[in-house]
Amino acid sequence: MTAQTEPDVVTESPVVATAVREPDHIAVDRATTGPVGGGQIVRRVIILVFGLVQLVIALRFILVLVDARAANALVSAILNVSQVFVAPFNGILNVDALVANGSVIDIAAIVAFIGWTLLELVILWAVGIFRREAA
C-alpha cells in the first residue's frame, strides 16, 4: 500500500493597501558603519578613567557615611585608593567632614567628586576641539 499525500493547500489572505500620509519632514538616523576614530577612542578612555575615579570616591563617601569598619580589607582598600583622589581637595573648605552619631559626611569627598567631574569636562572639551566633524 502506498500512502497518498494530500496536496498542500495554501490559503492567501487578501492584501489590504493602506495609505499613510507622509510628514512634511523626514527624520534620518545616521549610523556610522566605519571604524571608530582615534578621537572617539580617546574620549571613551577619558570617560572610563574618570568614571572609575568617581566610583571610588562615591564608594568612599558611602562607606564613611555608614561608618563601615576600616579593619575590613575591602573597606580599607577602597578608603586607601580613594584617599589618593581626595587628598588634593582636603583643606579647600574650613571643614572636611561633619560628624554625627558615628556617621561622617565627608565634605572633602564631595568636593573631590565635583572637582574631578569638572576636570573631566574640561579635558573632554579640550579633546573635542581637535575632533574633526564629518562633512
Average pLDDT over residues 13-29: 60
Whether 16 maps to a domain, the answer reads: no
Which residue is it, cell 579593619? 71
Given a cut of 90, is residue 22 above it in pLDDT? no
When comparing pLDDT for 106 and 3, which is higher? 106
Which residues constitute the domain of residue 56?
Answer: 38-129
Read off the pTM: 0.68
Question: Are the CB atoms for 124 and 43 separated by under 8 Å?
Answer: yes
Please tell me the distance from the alpha carbon of residue 93 to that of residue 111, in angstroms, as a whole number: 9
pLDDT at 91 > cutoff 80: yes
Number of compact structural domains in the chain: 1
The answer to whether position 5 is within a domain reads no
